[in-house]
Amino acid sequence: MAILGIESTAHTFGVGICQSGRILANQKAMYPIKDKGMIPAQVANFHMKNAAHVIKNAINESGLSTRNIEAIGYTRGPGLGPCLAIGQLVARFLAKRYRLPVMPVNHAIGHIEVTKQAFGIKDPLVLYVSGGNSQILGLVDRPFRHYHVFGETFDIGIGNMLDSFAREAKIIPAWGSEVAKVAMNGKYIELPYTVKGMDFTFTGLLTAATDALRRHSVKDVAYSLQETSFAMLCEATERALLLTKKKDLMLCGGVAQSTRLKEMLQMITKDHGSRFFVSPNELNADNGAMIAVVAEKMFRAGEHYSDKQITIDQRYRPDSVEISW
Name the residues that contact Fe ion, by CB under 5 A.
Answer: 130, 286
Q: Residues 74, 104: contact at Cβ < 8 Å?
A: yes
CA distance 225 to 236: 17
Q: Residues 180, 258: contact at Cβ < 8 Å?
A: yes
Q: Residues 65, 59: contact at Cβ < 8 Å?
A: yes
Q: Which is nearer to Fe ion, 169 or 256 (CB)?
A: 256
Q: How far is the CB of 253 from Fe ion (least distance, A)?
A: 5
Q: Which is nearer to Fe ion, 130 or 135 (CB)?
A: 130
Q: How far is the CB of 286 from Fe ion (least distance, A)?
A: 4
Report which of 307, 312, 295 is spatially closest to residue 79, judged by C-alpha positions.
312
Q: How far is the CB of 142 from Fe ion (least distance, A)?
A: 28
Q: Which is nearer to Fe ion, 7 or 220 (CB)?
A: 7
Q: How far is the CB of 298 from Fe ion (least distance, A)?
A: 18
Q: Which is nearer to Fe ion, 27 or 130 (CB)?
A: 130
Find all residues with CB under 8 Å of 322, minimum gap 6, and list them.
144, 145, 146
Report which of 259, 239, 241 is spatially closest to residue 249, judged by C-alpha positions.
241
Q: Residues 250, 121: contact at Cβ < 8 Å?
A: yes
Q: How far is the CB of 216 from Fe ion (least distance, A)?
A: 31
Alpha helices in the chain (DSSP H): 40-62, 81-98, 107-119, 158-168, 176-183, 203-212, 218-244, 259-272, 281-284, 288-300
Q: Which is nearer to Fe ion, 223 or 277 (CB)?
A: 277
Q: Which is nearer to Fe ion, 55 or 129 (CB)?
A: 129
Q: How far is the CB of 254 from Fe ion (least distance, A)?
A: 5
Q: How far is the CB of 176 from Fe ion (least distance, A)?
A: 13
Q: Which is nearer to Fe ion, 130 or 229 (CB)?
A: 130
CA distance 252 to 262: 10
Q: Residues 198, 232: contact at Cβ < 8 Å?
A: no
Find all residues with CB under 8 Å of 208, minimum gap 6, and list them.
191, 192
